[in-house]
Structure 1
Amino acid sequence: MYTAKGKLDTNALLKQYSPLVRRLAHQMMARLPANVELDDLIQVGMIGLADAMTRFDITQGVQFETFATQRIRGAMLDELRGGDWLSRGTRRQQRELEDALHKAEQRHGRVPTESEIAAVMGVSLAEYQDMLGRARGTQLVYLEDIGGGEDGDDYLDRHVADPANNPVAQLADHRMRQALIEAIKVLPEREAYVMSMYYEHDMNLKEIAAVLKVTESRVCQLHSQAIARLRVRLREH
Protein backbone atom coordinates (compact mmCIF):
# COMPACT_ATOMS: atom_id res chain seq x y z
CA MET A 1 0.00 0.00 0.00
CA TYR A 2 1.46 3.32 -1.08
CA THR A 3 0.47 6.95 -0.84
CA ALA A 4 0.10 9.22 -3.87
CA LYS A 5 3.78 10.14 -3.42
CA GLY A 6 4.88 6.52 -3.74
CA LYS A 7 5.64 5.97 -0.04
CA LEU A 8 4.31 3.19 2.18
CA ASP A 9 0.96 4.14 3.72
CA THR A 10 1.89 3.72 7.39
CA ASN A 11 -1.61 3.93 8.82
CA ALA A 12 -3.04 1.48 6.30
CA LEU A 13 -0.23 -1.00 6.90
CA LEU A 14 -0.55 -0.77 10.69
CA LYS A 15 -4.23 -1.61 10.37
CA GLN A 16 -3.69 -4.38 7.84
CA TYR A 17 -0.85 -6.13 9.67
CA SER A 18 -1.91 -5.68 13.31
CA PRO A 19 -3.59 -9.14 13.17
CA LEU A 20 -0.18 -10.55 12.18
CA VAL A 21 1.34 -9.01 15.30
CA ARG A 22 -1.37 -10.57 17.48
CA ARG A 23 -0.93 -13.96 15.81
CA LEU A 24 2.83 -13.95 16.38
CA ALA A 25 2.33 -12.85 19.99
CA HIS A 26 -0.12 -15.70 20.63
CA GLN A 27 2.31 -18.19 19.09
CA MET A 28 5.03 -17.04 21.47
CA MET A 29 2.73 -17.01 24.49
CA ALA A 30 2.09 -20.72 24.02
CA ARG A 31 5.75 -21.36 24.91
CA LEU A 32 6.41 -18.65 27.47
CA PRO A 33 5.94 -18.21 31.25
CA ALA A 34 2.43 -17.50 32.45
CA ASN A 35 3.35 -14.09 33.82
CA VAL A 36 4.47 -12.69 30.46
CA GLU A 37 1.69 -10.33 29.42
CA LEU A 38 0.20 -10.76 25.96
CA ASP A 39 -0.47 -7.03 25.66
CA ASP A 40 3.21 -6.29 26.32
CA LEU A 41 4.27 -8.60 23.50
CA ILE A 42 1.72 -7.06 21.15
CA GLN A 43 2.91 -3.55 22.00
CA VAL A 44 6.53 -4.49 21.30
CA GLY A 45 5.43 -6.28 18.14
CA MET A 46 3.70 -3.16 16.87
CA ILE A 47 6.95 -1.27 17.39
CA GLY A 48 8.67 -3.98 15.34
CA LEU A 49 6.03 -3.55 12.64
CA ALA A 50 6.59 0.20 12.54
CA ASP A 51 10.33 -0.42 12.31
CA ALA A 52 9.75 -2.79 9.41
CA MET A 53 7.87 -0.05 7.57
CA THR A 54 10.80 2.34 7.82
CA ARG A 55 13.39 -0.28 6.80
CA PHE A 56 11.52 -2.10 4.03
CA ASP A 57 13.07 -1.84 0.59
CA ILE A 58 10.91 -3.19 -2.23
CA THR A 59 13.94 -3.44 -4.50
CA GLN A 60 15.30 -6.32 -2.40
CA GLY A 61 12.66 -8.64 -3.84
CA VAL A 62 11.19 -9.67 -0.47
CA GLN A 63 7.48 -9.49 0.31
CA PHE A 64 6.61 -6.99 3.01
CA GLU A 65 4.80 -9.57 5.17
CA THR A 66 7.87 -11.82 5.20
CA PHE A 67 10.13 -8.91 6.12
CA ALA A 68 7.70 -7.60 8.73
CA THR A 69 7.33 -11.03 10.35
CA GLN A 70 11.08 -11.17 10.92
CA ARG A 71 11.20 -7.66 12.39
CA ILE A 72 8.16 -8.26 14.63
CA ARG A 73 9.44 -11.56 15.96
CA GLY A 74 12.90 -10.07 16.44
CA ALA A 75 11.50 -7.17 18.46
CA MET A 76 9.59 -9.58 20.70
CA LEU A 77 12.62 -11.81 21.23
CA ASP A 78 14.79 -8.81 22.11
CA GLU A 79 12.23 -7.70 24.68
CA LEU A 80 12.04 -11.18 26.21
CA ARG A 81 15.80 -11.53 26.40
CA GLY A 82 16.14 -8.12 28.01
CA GLY A 83 13.52 -8.61 30.71
CA ASP A 84 13.45 -10.60 33.92
CA TRP A 85 10.08 -11.56 35.42
CA LEU A 86 11.20 -13.29 38.58
CA SER A 87 13.78 -12.14 41.14
CA ARG A 88 16.75 -14.39 41.89
CA GLY A 89 15.58 -14.85 45.48
CA THR A 90 12.14 -15.98 44.37
CA ARG A 91 13.64 -18.33 41.78
CA ARG A 92 15.89 -19.85 44.44
CA GLN A 93 12.94 -20.33 46.76
CA GLN A 94 10.96 -21.92 43.95
CA ARG A 95 13.80 -24.36 43.30
CA GLU A 96 13.85 -25.28 46.98
CA LEU A 97 10.10 -25.82 46.88
CA GLU A 98 10.44 -28.10 43.86
CA ASP A 99 13.20 -30.11 45.52
CA ALA A 100 11.06 -30.56 48.63
CA LEU A 101 8.09 -31.58 46.54
CA HIS A 102 10.21 -34.18 44.74
CA LYS A 103 11.53 -35.58 48.03
CA ALA A 104 8.03 -35.75 49.51
CA GLU A 105 6.81 -37.56 46.39
CA GLN A 106 9.63 -40.08 46.64
CA ARG A 107 9.04 -40.57 50.36
CA HIS A 108 5.30 -41.21 50.10
CA GLY A 109 5.18 -42.83 46.67
CA ARG A 110 2.33 -40.59 45.51
CA VAL A 111 1.39 -36.96 44.93
CA PRO A 112 2.23 -35.31 48.29
CA THR A 113 -0.06 -32.99 50.18
CA GLU A 114 0.87 -29.45 51.13
CA SER A 115 1.45 -30.52 54.73
CA GLU A 116 3.82 -33.28 53.62
CA ILE A 117 5.81 -30.88 51.44
CA ALA A 118 5.96 -28.36 54.28
CA ALA A 119 7.26 -31.08 56.61
CA VAL A 120 10.12 -31.86 54.21
CA MET A 121 11.01 -28.17 54.13
CA GLY A 122 10.85 -28.00 57.92
CA VAL A 123 8.26 -25.22 57.97
CA SER A 124 4.66 -24.95 59.09
CA LEU A 125 1.77 -25.30 56.65
CA ALA A 126 1.05 -21.57 57.00
CA GLU A 127 4.70 -20.70 56.22
CA TYR A 128 4.68 -23.02 53.23
CA GLN A 129 1.49 -21.49 51.84
CA ASP A 130 2.98 -18.03 52.35
CA MET A 131 5.96 -19.13 50.22
CA LEU A 132 3.54 -20.29 47.52
CA GLY A 133 1.82 -16.92 47.59
CA ARG A 134 5.11 -15.06 47.22
CA ALA A 135 5.98 -17.25 44.25
CA ARG A 136 3.15 -15.68 42.27
CA GLY A 137 4.35 -15.42 38.70
CA THR A 138 6.16 -18.72 38.94
CA GLN A 139 6.74 -20.23 35.54
CA LEU A 140 7.37 -23.43 33.63
CA VAL A 141 10.45 -21.87 31.97
CA TYR A 142 13.05 -19.84 33.88
CA LEU A 143 15.43 -17.33 32.35
CA GLU A 144 18.26 -19.78 33.08
CA ASP A 145 16.44 -22.19 30.78
CA ILE A 146 16.21 -19.47 28.14
CA GLY A 147 19.97 -18.86 28.17
CA GLY A 148 22.28 -20.50 25.68
CA GLY A 149 22.67 -24.26 25.97
CA GLU A 150 25.75 -26.42 25.63
CA ASP A 151 25.34 -26.48 21.88
CA GLY A 152 25.19 -22.70 21.73
CA ASP A 153 21.52 -22.61 20.84
CA ASP A 154 19.20 -20.15 22.48
CA TYR A 155 15.98 -21.43 24.07
CA LEU A 156 13.89 -18.67 22.54
CA ASP A 157 15.32 -19.28 19.10
CA ARG A 158 14.71 -23.02 19.38
CA HIS A 159 11.26 -22.98 20.95
CA VAL A 160 9.69 -19.65 20.01
CA ALA A 161 10.86 -19.40 16.42
CA ASP A 162 8.52 -20.79 13.81
CA PRO A 163 8.54 -24.59 14.37
CA ALA A 164 7.22 -25.20 10.86
CA ASN A 165 10.76 -24.74 9.57
CA ASN A 166 12.33 -27.10 12.12
CA PRO A 167 11.20 -30.77 12.22
CA VAL A 168 13.35 -31.44 15.30
CA ALA A 169 11.67 -28.55 17.13
CA GLN A 170 8.28 -29.90 16.07
CA LEU A 171 9.08 -33.31 17.53
CA ALA A 172 10.45 -31.84 20.76
CA ASP A 173 7.42 -29.58 21.06
CA HIS A 174 5.09 -32.57 20.58
CA ARG A 175 6.91 -34.57 23.24
CA MET A 176 6.82 -31.67 25.67
CA ARG A 177 3.11 -31.13 25.08
CA GLN A 178 2.39 -34.83 25.64
CA ALA A 179 4.50 -34.85 28.79
CA LEU A 180 2.70 -31.75 30.03
CA ILE A 181 -0.71 -33.30 29.34
CA GLU A 182 0.25 -36.43 31.27
CA ALA A 183 1.63 -34.36 34.16
CA ILE A 184 -1.56 -32.29 34.39
CA LYS A 185 -3.63 -35.49 34.55
CA VAL A 186 -2.06 -36.45 37.88
CA LEU A 187 -2.39 -33.03 39.51
CA PRO A 188 -4.66 -32.84 42.56
CA GLU A 189 -8.20 -32.00 41.45
CA ARG A 190 -8.31 -28.37 42.57
CA GLU A 191 -4.91 -27.59 41.07
CA ALA A 192 -5.99 -29.16 37.78
CA TYR A 193 -9.12 -26.99 37.85
CA VAL A 194 -7.01 -23.87 38.38
CA MET A 195 -4.70 -24.73 35.48
CA SER A 196 -7.63 -25.47 33.19
CA MET A 197 -9.52 -22.29 34.04
CA TYR A 198 -6.41 -20.09 33.88
CA TYR A 199 -4.84 -21.42 30.68
CA GLU A 200 -7.62 -23.09 28.69
CA HIS A 201 -10.50 -20.77 29.53
CA ASP A 202 -8.45 -17.59 30.03
CA MET A 203 -10.10 -16.81 33.37
CA ASN A 204 -8.47 -14.35 35.76
CA LEU A 205 -7.68 -15.05 39.41
CA LYS A 206 -10.80 -13.30 40.68
CA GLU A 207 -13.04 -15.39 38.43
CA ILE A 208 -11.32 -18.63 39.42
CA ALA A 209 -11.60 -17.72 43.10
CA ALA A 210 -15.34 -17.18 42.67
CA VAL A 211 -15.78 -20.59 41.04
CA LEU A 212 -13.75 -22.42 43.70
CA LYS A 213 -15.20 -20.27 46.51
CA VAL A 214 -11.75 -19.39 47.85
CA THR A 215 -9.69 -16.19 48.05
CA GLU A 216 -7.55 -14.91 45.19
CA SER A 217 -4.46 -15.49 47.32
CA ARG A 218 -5.44 -19.15 47.67
CA VAL A 219 -5.77 -19.42 43.89
CA CYS A 220 -2.23 -18.00 43.61
CA GLN A 221 -1.01 -20.67 46.03
CA LEU A 222 -2.70 -23.46 44.10
CA HIS A 223 -1.32 -22.14 40.81
CA SER A 224 2.22 -21.87 42.15
CA GLN A 225 2.06 -25.37 43.60
CA ALA A 226 0.67 -26.82 40.37
CA ILE A 227 3.51 -25.25 38.39
CA ALA A 228 6.05 -26.65 40.86
CA ARG A 229 4.58 -30.14 40.48
CA LEU A 230 4.67 -29.84 36.68
CA ARG A 231 8.26 -28.63 36.64
CA VAL A 232 9.33 -31.58 38.78
CA ARG A 233 7.69 -34.02 36.36
CA LEU A 234 8.93 -32.23 33.25
CA ARG A 235 12.54 -32.39 34.43
CA GLU A 236 12.59 -35.89 32.96
CA HIS A 237 11.82 -34.46 29.54
Structure 2
Amino acid sequence: MIPNKSHLANIDVWKQWKEEGYIAAKQALIENYLPLVEYVVGRLAIGLPKNISKEDLSSYGIMGLIDAIEKFDYERGLQFETYASWRIRGAVIDGLRQGDWVPRSVREKAKKVEEAYQKLEQKYLRSVTDAEISDYLQVSENEFHQMVQDIAVTTICSIDDPIKEEESETRLSLLVDETAKNPEYKVNEFFLKETLAKAIDRLTEKERTVVSLFYYEELSLSEIAEVMNLSPSRISQLHSKAILRLRGSLGRMKVQLFQDT
Protein backbone atom coordinates (compact mmCIF):
# COMPACT_ATOMS: atom_id res chain seq x y z
CA MET A 1 0.00 0.00 0.00
CA ILE A 2 1.27 3.45 -0.87
CA PRO A 3 1.15 5.74 2.19
CA ASN A 4 -0.79 8.94 1.66
CA LYS A 5 1.47 11.96 1.39
CA SER A 6 0.20 15.47 1.12
CA HIS A 7 1.27 17.14 -2.11
CA LEU A 8 2.22 20.10 0.11
CA ALA A 9 5.42 18.20 0.95
CA ASN A 10 6.48 18.88 -2.65
CA ILE A 11 5.08 22.40 -2.88
CA ASP A 12 8.37 23.90 -4.07
CA VAL A 13 8.65 21.33 -6.85
CA TRP A 14 5.03 21.93 -7.88
CA LYS A 15 5.71 25.66 -8.08
CA GLN A 16 8.82 25.12 -10.20
CA TRP A 17 6.81 23.02 -12.64
CA LYS A 18 3.52 24.93 -12.72
CA GLU A 19 4.79 28.49 -12.44
CA GLU A 20 8.19 28.29 -14.09
CA GLY A 21 7.68 25.35 -16.46
CA TYR A 22 10.84 23.71 -15.11
CA ILE A 23 10.99 20.32 -16.89
CA ALA A 24 13.34 18.85 -14.29
CA ALA A 25 10.70 19.56 -11.64
CA LYS A 26 8.08 17.71 -13.68
CA GLN A 27 10.44 14.74 -14.00
CA ALA A 28 11.02 14.80 -10.26
CA LEU A 29 7.27 14.66 -9.63
CA ILE A 30 6.87 11.75 -12.05
CA GLU A 31 9.64 9.79 -10.35
CA ASN A 32 8.24 10.59 -6.90
CA TYR A 33 4.77 9.27 -7.73
CA LEU A 34 5.79 6.21 -9.77
CA PRO A 35 4.98 3.91 -6.81
CA LEU A 36 1.38 5.11 -7.10
CA VAL A 37 1.29 3.69 -10.63
CA GLU A 38 2.53 0.32 -9.37
CA TYR A 39 -0.11 0.34 -6.63
CA VAL A 40 -3.03 1.15 -8.96
CA VAL A 41 -1.84 -1.29 -11.63
CA GLY A 42 -1.48 -4.03 -9.02
CA ARG A 43 -5.10 -3.66 -7.96
CA LEU A 44 -6.39 -3.41 -11.52
CA ALA A 45 -4.55 -6.59 -12.49
CA ILE A 46 -6.98 -8.67 -10.41
CA GLY A 47 -8.92 -10.96 -12.71
CA LEU A 48 -7.15 -9.89 -15.91
CA PRO A 49 -5.94 -12.63 -18.28
CA LYS A 50 -2.35 -13.73 -17.80
CA ASN A 51 -1.51 -12.80 -21.38
CA ILE A 52 -1.87 -9.10 -20.52
CA SER A 53 1.60 -7.80 -19.76
CA LYS A 54 2.04 -5.92 -16.51
CA GLU A 55 4.62 -3.79 -18.30
CA ASP A 56 1.90 -2.67 -20.72
CA LEU A 57 -0.38 -1.82 -17.81
CA SER A 58 2.41 0.18 -16.17
CA SER A 59 3.04 2.05 -19.44
CA TYR A 60 -0.62 3.06 -19.62
CA GLY A 61 -0.49 4.02 -15.95
CA ILE A 62 2.58 6.22 -16.39
CA MET A 63 0.81 8.08 -19.19
CA GLY A 64 -2.10 8.65 -16.80
CA LEU A 65 0.30 9.90 -14.13
CA ILE A 66 1.92 12.35 -16.55
CA ASP A 67 -1.53 13.58 -17.59
CA ALA A 68 -2.46 14.05 -13.92
CA ILE A 69 0.71 16.02 -13.19
CA GLU A 70 0.06 18.25 -16.20
CA LYS A 71 -3.55 18.98 -15.27
CA PHE A 72 -3.40 19.08 -11.46
CA ASP A 73 -3.98 22.45 -9.79
CA TYR A 74 -1.79 22.37 -6.69
CA GLU A 75 -3.25 25.64 -5.37
CA ARG A 76 -6.71 24.13 -4.73
CA GLY A 77 -5.47 22.24 -1.68
CA LEU A 78 -6.62 18.84 -2.96
CA GLN A 79 -4.91 15.49 -2.43
CA PHE A 80 -2.85 14.72 -5.52
CA GLU A 81 -2.75 10.98 -4.85
CA THR A 82 -6.53 10.72 -5.04
CA TYR A 83 -6.73 12.75 -8.25
CA ALA A 84 -3.84 10.89 -9.85
CA SER A 85 -5.26 7.48 -8.94
CA TRP A 86 -8.40 8.24 -10.98
CA ARG A 87 -6.31 9.39 -13.94
CA ILE A 88 -3.97 6.40 -13.77
CA ARG A 89 -6.86 3.95 -13.50
CA GLY A 90 -8.71 5.57 -16.38
CA ALA A 91 -5.60 5.58 -18.57
CA VAL A 92 -4.96 1.88 -17.96
CA ILE A 93 -8.54 0.88 -18.74
CA ASP A 94 -8.67 3.12 -21.81
CA GLY A 95 -5.43 1.60 -23.04
CA LEU A 96 -6.76 -1.90 -22.58
CA ARG A 97 -9.98 -1.04 -24.35
CA GLN A 98 -8.14 0.44 -27.33
CA GLY A 99 -6.25 -2.84 -27.56
CA ASP A 100 -9.56 -4.72 -27.80
CA TRP A 101 -8.58 -6.84 -24.80
CA VAL A 102 -12.11 -8.05 -24.03
CA PRO A 103 -13.94 -9.93 -26.82
CA ARG A 104 -17.45 -8.77 -27.66
CA SER A 105 -18.80 -12.19 -26.68
CA VAL A 106 -17.41 -11.75 -23.16
CA ARG A 107 -19.02 -8.31 -22.82
CA GLU A 108 -22.32 -9.79 -23.96
CA LYS A 109 -22.03 -12.49 -21.30
CA ALA A 110 -21.36 -9.84 -18.65
CA LYS A 111 -24.41 -7.86 -19.75
CA LYS A 112 -26.64 -10.96 -19.58
CA VAL A 113 -25.45 -11.90 -16.09
CA GLU A 114 -25.79 -8.33 -14.82
CA GLU A 115 -29.34 -8.10 -16.19
CA ALA A 116 -30.18 -11.46 -14.63
CA TYR A 117 -29.08 -10.25 -11.20
CA GLN A 118 -30.99 -7.01 -11.68
CA LYS A 119 -34.28 -8.63 -12.70
CA LEU A 120 -34.26 -11.54 -10.26
CA GLU A 121 -33.23 -9.52 -7.23
CA GLN A 122 -35.85 -6.92 -8.07
CA LYS A 123 -38.40 -9.73 -8.30
CA TYR A 124 -37.46 -11.56 -5.09
CA LEU A 125 -36.10 -8.54 -3.13
CA ARG A 126 -33.19 -10.64 -1.85
CA SER A 127 -29.86 -12.04 -2.93
CA VAL A 128 -30.50 -14.74 -5.52
CA THR A 129 -28.61 -18.02 -5.60
CA ASP A 130 -26.32 -19.34 -8.30
CA ALA A 131 -28.94 -22.00 -9.04
CA GLU A 132 -31.62 -19.35 -9.66
CA ILE A 133 -29.33 -17.34 -11.92
CA SER A 134 -28.33 -20.49 -13.80
CA ASP A 135 -31.98 -21.45 -14.28
CA TYR A 136 -32.81 -17.96 -15.55
CA LEU A 137 -29.91 -18.05 -18.01
CA GLN A 138 -30.79 -21.64 -18.95
CA VAL A 139 -27.30 -22.95 -18.25
CA SER A 140 -25.88 -25.38 -15.71
CA GLU A 141 -24.29 -24.07 -12.52
CA ASN A 142 -20.87 -25.17 -13.76
CA GLU A 143 -21.44 -23.23 -16.99
CA PHE A 144 -22.54 -20.20 -14.97
CA HIS A 145 -19.39 -20.37 -12.82
CA GLN A 146 -17.30 -20.50 -15.99
CA MET A 147 -19.19 -17.47 -17.34
CA VAL A 148 -18.37 -15.53 -14.17
CA GLN A 149 -14.73 -16.52 -14.50
CA ASP A 150 -14.68 -15.42 -18.15
CA ILE A 151 -16.21 -12.02 -17.43
CA ALA A 152 -14.01 -11.22 -14.43
CA VAL A 153 -11.99 -8.97 -16.73
CA THR A 154 -15.04 -6.73 -17.27
CA THR A 155 -15.62 -5.87 -13.62
CA ILE A 156 -13.27 -2.91 -13.79
CA CYS A 157 -14.47 0.28 -15.41
CA SER A 158 -13.28 3.70 -16.49
CA ILE A 159 -14.80 6.95 -15.24
CA ASP A 160 -14.89 8.01 -18.88
CA ASP A 161 -17.22 5.11 -19.76
CA PRO A 162 -20.92 5.85 -20.45
CA ILE A 163 -23.20 4.88 -17.58
CA LYS A 164 -25.23 2.99 -20.16
CA GLU A 165 -24.15 2.02 -23.65
CA GLU A 166 -26.87 4.05 -25.34
CA GLU A 167 -26.21 7.20 -23.28
CA SER A 168 -23.55 9.88 -23.53
CA GLU A 169 -23.43 10.68 -19.79
CA THR A 170 -20.26 9.28 -18.23
CA ARG A 171 -19.23 8.44 -14.69
CA LEU A 172 -16.83 11.35 -14.85
CA SER A 173 -19.78 13.72 -15.30
CA LEU A 174 -21.08 12.60 -11.90
CA LEU A 175 -17.93 13.74 -10.12
CA VAL A 176 -18.40 17.21 -8.71
CA ASP A 177 -16.53 19.58 -6.43
CA GLU A 178 -17.57 18.47 -2.95
CA THR A 179 -16.81 21.95 -1.60
CA ALA A 180 -19.64 23.37 -3.70
CA LYS A 181 -23.14 23.49 -2.20
CA ASN A 182 -25.30 21.37 -4.46
CA PRO A 183 -28.54 20.09 -2.86
CA GLU A 184 -29.33 17.81 -5.80
CA TYR A 185 -25.93 16.15 -5.52
CA LYS A 186 -26.39 15.65 -1.77
CA VAL A 187 -29.78 14.01 -2.32
CA ASN A 188 -28.38 11.73 -5.02
CA GLU A 189 -25.40 10.92 -2.82
CA PHE A 190 -27.74 9.96 0.02
CA PHE A 191 -29.78 7.62 -2.19
CA LEU A 192 -26.62 6.18 -3.72
CA LYS A 193 -25.17 5.33 -0.32
CA GLU A 194 -28.49 3.93 0.86
CA THR A 195 -28.81 1.80 -2.29
CA LEU A 196 -25.24 0.52 -2.01
CA ALA A 197 -25.71 -0.31 1.68
CA LYS A 198 -28.84 -2.33 0.92
CA ALA A 199 -27.16 -4.03 -2.05
CA ILE A 200 -24.11 -4.97 0.04
CA ASP A 201 -26.41 -6.42 2.70
CA ARG A 202 -27.88 -8.73 0.06
CA LEU A 203 -24.49 -10.09 -0.95
CA THR A 204 -23.51 -13.51 0.31
CA GLU A 205 -21.23 -13.61 3.34
CA LYS A 206 -18.20 -14.52 1.23
CA GLU A 207 -18.94 -11.79 -1.34
CA ARG A 208 -19.27 -9.19 1.43
CA THR A 209 -15.97 -10.35 2.90
CA VAL A 210 -14.19 -10.03 -0.45
CA VAL A 211 -15.65 -6.55 -1.04
CA SER A 212 -14.65 -5.46 2.46
CA LEU A 213 -11.11 -6.82 2.25
CA PHE A 214 -10.54 -5.48 -1.26
CA TYR A 215 -12.12 -2.01 -1.10
CA TYR A 216 -11.84 -1.15 2.60
CA GLU A 217 -8.81 -3.09 3.85
CA GLU A 218 -7.16 -2.78 0.39
CA LEU A 219 -5.74 -6.29 0.39
CA SER A 220 -4.48 -7.85 -2.84
CA LEU A 221 -6.04 -10.86 -4.56
CA SER A 222 -3.45 -13.26 -3.17
CA GLU A 223 -3.76 -11.79 0.33
CA ILE A 224 -7.54 -12.19 0.32
CA ALA A 225 -7.16 -15.77 -0.94
CA GLU A 226 -4.81 -16.50 1.95
CA VAL A 227 -7.11 -14.90 4.53
CA MET A 228 -10.19 -16.76 3.29
CA ASN A 229 -8.31 -20.01 2.54
CA LEU A 230 -9.59 -20.04 -1.05
CA SER A 231 -7.88 -20.04 -4.44
CA PRO A 232 -7.16 -16.71 -6.18
CA SER A 233 -9.48 -17.71 -9.04
CA ARG A 234 -12.32 -18.31 -6.54
CA ILE A 235 -11.71 -14.88 -4.99
CA SER A 236 -11.81 -13.31 -8.47
CA GLN A 237 -15.11 -15.08 -9.13
CA LEU A 238 -16.63 -13.87 -5.85
CA HIS A 239 -15.47 -10.32 -6.61
CA SER A 240 -17.03 -10.43 -10.09
CA LYS A 241 -20.36 -11.73 -8.79
CA ALA A 242 -20.46 -9.04 -6.10
CA ILE A 243 -19.76 -6.27 -8.62
CA LEU A 244 -22.44 -7.57 -10.99
CA ARG A 245 -24.98 -7.63 -8.15
CA LEU A 246 -24.07 -4.08 -7.11
CA ARG A 247 -24.27 -2.82 -10.71
CA GLY A 248 -27.71 -4.35 -10.99
CA SER A 249 -28.85 -2.57 -7.82
CA LEU A 250 -27.51 0.76 -9.05
CA GLY A 251 -29.23 0.21 -12.39
CA ARG A 252 -32.54 -0.35 -10.60
CA MET A 253 -32.00 2.83 -8.58
CA LYS A 254 -31.52 4.88 -11.78
CA VAL A 255 -34.67 3.42 -13.33
CA GLN A 256 -36.68 4.25 -10.20
CA LEU A 257 -35.34 7.80 -10.12
CA PHE A 258 -36.42 8.39 -13.73
CA GLN A 259 -39.85 6.88 -13.02
CA ASP A 260 -40.33 9.24 -10.10
CA THR A 261 -39.36 12.36 -12.06
TM-score tier by shorter-chain length is 0.5 to 0.7
In structure 1, C-alpha distance between the alignment counterparts of 2:232 and 2:115, rounded to whole Å: 26
Which residue of structure 2 aligns with residue 175 of structure 1?
191
Q: Please tell me the residue identity of whatever aligns with 2:74.
A: E
Which residue of structure 2 aligns with residue 10 of structure 1?
23
In structure 1, C-alpha distance between the alignment counterparts of 2:74 and 2:223, rounded to whole Å: 38
Which residue of structure 2 aligns with residue 145 of structure 1?
163
SS at match of 2:152: coil
SS at match of 2:192: helix
Partner residue of 1:65 out of 65, 74, 98: 74
Which residue of structure 1 aligns with residue 228 of structure 2?
212
Partner residue of 1:125 out of 141, 144, 149: 141
Instruction: Assess if the C-alpha contact under 8 Å between 1:47 and 1:75 holds in 2.
Output: no
Instruction: Assess if the C-alpha contact under 8 Å between 1:191 and 1:226 holds in 2.
Output: yes
Q: Normalising to structure 2: TM-score of the pair? A: 0.61
Q: CA deviation at 1:100?
A: 2.5
Larger radius of gyration: 1
In structure 1, C-alpha distance between the alignment counterparts of 2:89 and 2:180, rounded to whole Å: 18
Which residue of structure 1 aligns with residue 210 of structure 2?
194
Partner residue of 2:62 out of 37, 43, 53: 43
In structure 1, C-alpha distance between the alignment counterparts of 2:89 and 2:210, rounded to whole Å: 29
Partner residue of 1:92 out of 108, 127, 148: 108
Identity %: 24
SS at match of 2:209: helix
Q: Please tell me the residue identity of whatever aligns with 1:93.
A: K
In structure 2, C-alpha distance between the alignment counterparts of 1:201 and 1:13, rounded to whole Å: 32
Instruction: Assess if the C-alpha contact under 8 Å between 1:148 and 1:154 holds in 2.
Output: no
In structure 1, C-alpha distance between the alignment counterparts of 2:86 and 2:132, rounded to whole Å: 45
Q: CA deviation at 1:128?
A: 0.5
Which residue of structure 1 aligns with residue 132 of structure 2?
116
Instruction: Assess if the C-alpha contact under 8 Å between 2:61 and 2:89 holds in 1.
Output: no
Q: CA deviation at 1:186?
A: 1.9
Instruction: Assess if the C-alpha contact under 8 Å between 2:134 and 2:144 holds in 1.
Output: yes
In structure 1, C-alpha distance between the alignment counterparts of 2:175 and 2:198, rounded to whole Å: 22
Q: CA deviation at 1:211?
A: 1.8
In structure 1, C-alpha distance between the alignment counterparts of 2:65 and 2:109, rounded to whole Å: 36
Instruction: Assess if the C-alpha contact under 8 Å between 1:48 and 1:74 holds in 2.
Output: no
CA RMSD, Structure 1 to Structure 2 (Å): 4.4
Q: CA deviation at 1:204?
A: 1.5
Which residue of structure 1 aligns with residue 239 of structure 2?
223
